[in-house]
Structure 1
Amino acid sequence: MRVAVIGAGGVGGAFGAALAQAGANVSFVARGAHLAAMRRTGLRIEGGRGETILHRVQATDEPAMIGPVDFILFCVKLWDVELAGAQIRPLIGPTTAVIPLQNGIDAPERLIPILGQPAVMGGVAQITGESLECLMRCAG
Protein backbone atom coordinates (compact mmCIF):
# COMPACT_ATOMS: atom_id res chain seq x y z
CA MET A 1 0.00 0.00 0.00
CA ARG A 2 1.40 3.37 -1.07
CA VAL A 3 0.37 6.34 1.07
CA ALA A 4 1.23 10.03 0.77
CA VAL A 5 0.83 12.24 3.82
CA ILE A 6 0.34 15.89 2.97
CA GLY A 7 1.27 17.90 6.06
CA ALA A 8 3.37 15.90 8.51
CA GLY A 9 2.55 17.73 11.73
CA GLY A 10 0.73 16.28 14.72
CA VAL A 11 -2.09 14.63 12.73
CA GLY A 12 -0.33 13.68 9.50
CA GLY A 13 2.88 12.73 11.26
CA ALA A 14 1.10 10.49 13.75
CA PHE A 15 -1.03 8.65 11.18
CA GLY A 16 1.82 8.42 8.69
CA ALA A 17 4.24 7.08 11.29
CA ALA A 18 1.72 4.46 12.43
CA LEU A 19 1.12 3.34 8.83
CA ALA A 20 4.86 3.19 8.12
CA GLN A 21 5.45 1.08 11.24
CA ALA A 22 2.67 -1.26 10.06
CA GLY A 23 4.49 -1.80 6.77
CA ALA A 24 2.91 0.73 4.40
CA ASN A 25 5.11 2.59 1.93
CA VAL A 26 4.60 6.14 3.26
CA SER A 27 5.90 9.34 1.69
CA PHE A 28 5.54 12.62 3.56
CA VAL A 29 5.08 15.98 1.83
CA ALA A 30 6.33 18.81 4.01
CA ARG A 31 8.09 22.13 3.55
CA GLY A 32 10.66 24.45 5.06
CA ALA A 33 12.27 23.74 8.39
CA HIS A 34 9.95 20.80 9.06
CA LEU A 35 11.08 19.06 5.87
CA ALA A 36 14.74 19.76 6.65
CA ALA A 37 14.38 18.31 10.16
CA MET A 38 12.64 15.18 8.83
CA ARG A 39 15.39 14.62 6.28
CA ARG A 40 18.08 15.17 8.90
CA THR A 41 16.75 13.23 11.90
CA GLY A 42 13.56 11.43 10.88
CA LEU A 43 10.22 11.90 12.56
CA ARG A 44 9.40 11.68 16.25
CA ILE A 45 5.79 11.82 17.41
CA GLU A 46 4.75 11.89 21.05
CA GLY A 47 1.14 11.66 22.17
CA GLY A 48 -1.41 9.78 24.23
CA ARG A 49 -0.18 6.41 22.94
CA GLY A 50 3.45 7.10 23.72
CA GLU A 51 6.34 7.87 21.42
CA THR A 52 6.80 6.83 17.80
CA ILE A 53 10.13 7.34 16.08
CA LEU A 54 10.91 6.86 12.40
CA HIS A 55 14.64 7.28 11.95
CA ARG A 56 14.38 7.36 8.16
CA VAL A 57 11.47 8.85 6.27
CA GLN A 58 10.65 9.47 2.64
CA ALA A 59 10.02 13.21 2.64
CA THR A 60 9.82 15.79 -0.12
CA ASP A 61 8.30 19.15 -0.97
CA GLU A 62 7.60 18.00 -4.54
CA PRO A 63 4.55 15.69 -4.75
CA ALA A 64 5.32 14.88 -8.40
CA MET A 65 8.48 13.06 -7.22
CA ILE A 66 6.27 10.49 -5.45
CA GLY A 67 3.88 9.62 -8.27
CA PRO A 68 0.41 8.08 -7.93
CA VAL A 69 -0.46 6.48 -4.58
CA ASP A 70 -3.32 4.40 -3.18
CA PHE A 71 -4.24 6.81 -0.38
CA ILE A 72 -3.53 10.45 0.42
CA LEU A 73 -3.92 11.62 4.01
CA PHE A 74 -4.55 15.32 3.50
CA CYS A 75 -3.56 16.99 6.78
CA VAL A 76 -2.85 20.64 6.00
CA LYS A 77 -4.35 23.61 7.79
CA LEU A 78 -7.69 24.69 6.34
CA TRP A 79 -6.27 27.91 4.92
CA ASP A 80 -3.91 25.79 2.73
CA VAL A 81 -6.57 23.44 1.29
CA GLU A 82 -6.87 24.95 -2.19
CA LEU A 83 -3.14 25.49 -2.77
CA ALA A 84 -2.12 22.09 -1.41
CA GLY A 85 -5.01 20.44 -3.26
CA ALA A 86 -3.75 21.75 -6.59
CA GLN A 87 -0.19 20.63 -5.77
CA ILE A 88 -1.13 17.01 -5.11
CA ARG A 89 -2.70 16.30 -8.52
CA PRO A 90 0.38 14.23 -9.60
CA LEU A 91 -0.32 11.82 -6.71
CA ILE A 92 -3.78 10.90 -7.94
CA GLY A 93 -4.26 7.78 -10.01
CA PRO A 94 -7.51 6.15 -11.15
CA THR A 95 -8.19 4.55 -7.75
CA THR A 96 -6.53 7.00 -5.35
CA ALA A 97 -8.57 8.00 -2.29
CA VAL A 98 -7.92 11.45 -0.78
CA ILE A 99 -8.90 11.56 2.90
CA PRO A 100 -8.88 15.03 4.48
CA LEU A 101 -8.05 14.96 8.19
CA GLN A 102 -7.99 18.40 9.75
CA ASN A 103 -9.82 20.80 11.99
CA GLY A 104 -12.92 22.00 10.22
CA ILE A 105 -15.64 20.27 8.28
CA ASP A 106 -15.58 21.67 4.77
CA ALA A 107 -12.28 20.34 3.37
CA PRO A 108 -13.95 17.65 1.21
CA GLU A 109 -16.28 20.22 -0.37
CA ARG A 110 -13.32 22.49 -1.08
CA LEU A 111 -11.23 19.67 -2.58
CA ILE A 112 -13.87 18.20 -4.91
CA PRO A 113 -13.71 21.08 -7.47
CA ILE A 114 -9.91 20.70 -7.55
CA LEU A 115 -9.49 16.90 -7.54
CA GLY A 116 -12.86 15.56 -8.63
CA GLN A 117 -15.66 13.81 -6.72
CA PRO A 118 -14.39 10.22 -7.24
CA ALA A 119 -11.06 10.90 -5.49
CA VAL A 120 -12.26 12.75 -2.38
CA MET A 121 -13.61 11.02 0.71
CA GLY A 122 -14.72 12.43 4.04
CA GLY A 123 -12.52 12.03 7.09
CA VAL A 124 -12.35 13.00 10.71
CA ALA A 125 -9.62 12.56 13.29
CA GLN A 126 -9.18 13.23 16.95
CA ILE A 127 -5.61 12.89 18.02
CA THR A 128 -3.20 14.31 20.51
CA GLY A 129 0.31 14.43 19.21
CA GLU A 130 3.13 16.71 18.24
CA SER A 131 5.93 16.43 15.75
CA LEU A 132 8.68 16.95 18.32
CA GLU A 133 11.69 16.87 16.05
CA CYS A 134 10.35 19.83 14.14
CA LEU A 135 9.30 21.65 17.32
CA MET A 136 12.75 21.26 18.85
CA ARG A 137 14.62 22.21 15.70
CA CYS A 138 12.26 24.89 14.36
CA ALA A 139 11.52 26.80 17.54
CA GLY A 140 15.10 27.50 18.55
Structure 2
Amino acid sequence: MRIAVPIKDDSGLESEVCEHFGRARYFVFIDIEDGEVKGSEVVEVPFKDHEPGDLPAFIKEHGGKVVLAYGMGRRAIAYFNAMGIEVVTGASGRVNDLVEAFLRGTLKVDSNWRSKGDFGQHEF
Protein backbone atom coordinates (compact mmCIF):
# COMPACT_ATOMS: atom_id res chain seq x y z
CA MET A 1 0.00 0.00 0.00
CA ARG A 2 1.17 3.54 -0.68
CA ILE A 3 0.00 6.42 1.52
CA ALA A 4 0.13 10.02 0.27
CA VAL A 5 0.35 12.99 2.64
CA PRO A 6 0.47 16.71 1.71
CA ILE A 7 3.39 18.28 3.59
CA LYS A 8 4.58 21.78 4.52
CA ASP A 9 8.15 21.29 3.32
CA ASP A 10 10.36 18.63 1.78
CA SER A 11 11.35 16.96 5.09
CA GLY A 12 9.47 13.76 4.31
CA LEU A 13 8.38 11.73 7.33
CA GLU A 14 9.64 14.47 9.68
CA SER A 15 7.50 17.14 8.00
CA GLU A 16 4.17 18.42 9.30
CA VAL A 17 0.95 17.88 7.35
CA CYS A 18 0.02 20.87 5.20
CA GLU A 19 -3.32 22.05 6.56
CA HIS A 20 -4.76 22.72 3.11
CA PHE A 21 -4.43 19.78 0.72
CA GLY A 22 -4.81 21.93 -2.40
CA ARG A 23 -2.03 24.34 -1.41
CA ALA A 24 0.68 21.80 -0.60
CA ARG A 25 3.89 22.18 -2.62
CA TYR A 26 5.10 18.70 -1.65
CA PHE A 27 3.64 15.27 -0.98
CA VAL A 28 5.35 12.41 0.76
CA PHE A 29 4.48 8.94 -0.50
CA ILE A 30 4.99 6.24 2.12
CA ASP A 31 5.37 2.61 1.10
CA ILE A 32 3.81 0.12 3.52
CA GLU A 33 4.45 -3.63 3.50
CA ASP A 34 3.19 -6.06 6.12
CA GLY A 35 1.99 -3.16 8.28
CA GLU A 36 5.39 -1.43 8.37
CA VAL A 37 6.95 1.58 6.69
CA LYS A 38 9.39 0.28 4.06
CA GLY A 39 10.29 3.56 2.40
CA SER A 40 9.17 7.05 1.48
CA GLU A 41 9.54 9.50 -1.38
CA VAL A 42 9.02 13.27 -1.38
CA VAL A 43 7.62 14.62 -4.64
CA GLU A 44 7.18 18.30 -5.46
CA VAL A 45 3.82 19.12 -7.01
CA PRO A 46 4.64 19.78 -10.69
CA PHE A 47 2.14 22.63 -11.09
CA LYS A 48 1.52 25.80 -9.09
CA ASP A 49 -2.09 26.24 -10.11
CA HIS A 50 -4.43 23.33 -10.60
CA GLU A 51 -7.87 22.49 -11.85
CA PRO A 52 -10.28 20.17 -10.02
CA GLY A 53 -9.05 16.62 -10.38
CA ASP A 54 -5.38 17.49 -11.05
CA LEU A 55 -4.12 16.63 -7.57
CA PRO A 56 -6.10 13.38 -7.33
CA ALA A 57 -4.66 12.37 -10.72
CA PHE A 58 -1.16 13.30 -9.48
CA ILE A 59 -1.64 11.11 -6.39
CA LYS A 60 -2.94 8.22 -8.48
CA GLU A 61 -0.02 8.52 -10.95
CA HIS A 62 2.35 8.12 -8.00
CA GLY A 63 0.57 5.00 -6.76
CA GLY A 64 -1.30 6.49 -3.81
CA LYS A 65 -4.00 4.21 -2.38
CA VAL A 66 -4.71 6.22 0.81
CA VAL A 67 -4.52 9.97 1.42
CA LEU A 68 -4.04 11.32 4.94
CA ALA A 69 -4.84 15.04 4.98
CA TYR A 70 -6.24 17.77 7.18
CA GLY A 71 -8.57 19.84 5.00
CA MET A 72 -9.76 18.98 1.52
CA GLY A 73 -12.54 20.24 -0.73
CA ARG A 74 -15.59 18.10 -1.45
CA ARG A 75 -14.75 17.82 -5.15
CA ALA A 76 -11.27 16.46 -4.44
CA ILE A 77 -12.78 13.89 -2.08
CA ALA A 78 -15.28 12.90 -4.78
CA TYR A 79 -12.46 12.48 -7.35
CA PHE A 80 -10.52 10.26 -4.97
CA ASN A 81 -13.61 8.19 -4.19
CA ALA A 82 -14.23 7.70 -7.91
CA MET A 83 -10.62 6.50 -8.31
CA GLY A 84 -10.96 4.02 -5.44
CA ILE A 85 -8.50 5.94 -3.26
CA GLU A 86 -9.30 6.11 0.47
CA VAL A 87 -9.33 9.61 2.00
CA VAL A 88 -8.84 10.35 5.69
CA THR A 89 -9.39 14.02 6.60
CA GLY A 90 -8.80 15.90 9.82
CA ALA A 91 -5.29 14.46 10.26
CA SER A 92 -2.61 16.82 11.52
CA GLY A 93 0.85 16.69 13.03
CA ARG A 94 4.13 15.05 12.07
CA VAL A 95 3.80 12.61 9.18
CA ASN A 96 5.70 9.76 10.84
CA ASP A 97 3.39 9.92 13.88
CA LEU A 98 0.26 10.00 11.72
CA VAL A 99 1.29 7.04 9.62
CA GLU A 100 2.19 4.95 12.67
CA ALA A 101 -1.18 5.78 14.30
CA PHE A 102 -3.02 5.01 11.04
CA LEU A 103 -1.31 1.62 10.80
CA ARG A 104 -2.16 0.82 14.45
CA GLY A 105 -5.76 1.94 13.98
CA THR A 106 -5.38 4.68 16.60
CA LEU A 107 -5.30 7.79 14.39
CA LYS A 108 -7.25 10.65 15.97
CA VAL A 109 -8.66 13.20 13.55
CA ASP A 110 -10.29 16.61 13.92
CA SER A 111 -13.90 16.04 12.87
CA ASN A 112 -14.50 19.82 12.80
CA TRP A 113 -11.83 20.61 10.21
CA ARG A 114 -14.36 21.96 7.66
CA SER A 115 -15.31 24.85 9.95
CA LYS A 116 -11.68 25.99 10.22
CA GLY A 117 -10.81 26.86 6.62
CA ASP A 118 -11.86 27.73 3.09
CA PHE A 119 -11.58 24.18 1.79
CA GLY A 120 -12.90 23.84 -1.74
CA GLN A 121 -12.72 27.58 -2.40
CA HIS A 122 -10.64 28.15 -5.54
CA GLU A 123 -10.09 31.17 -7.72
CA PHE A 124 -10.02 30.29 -11.43
TM-score range, shorter chain: 0.3 to 0.5
**Structure ranking higher on relative contact order (CA contacts 8 Å, 6+ apart):** 1
Hey, which of these two has a bigger chunk of strand by percent?
1
Hey, which of these two has a bigger chunk of helix by percent?
1
User: Which one has the largest radius of gyration?
Assistant: 1
What TM-score do the two structures reach when normalised by structure 1? 0.31
What TM-score do the two structures reach when normalised by structure 2? 0.34
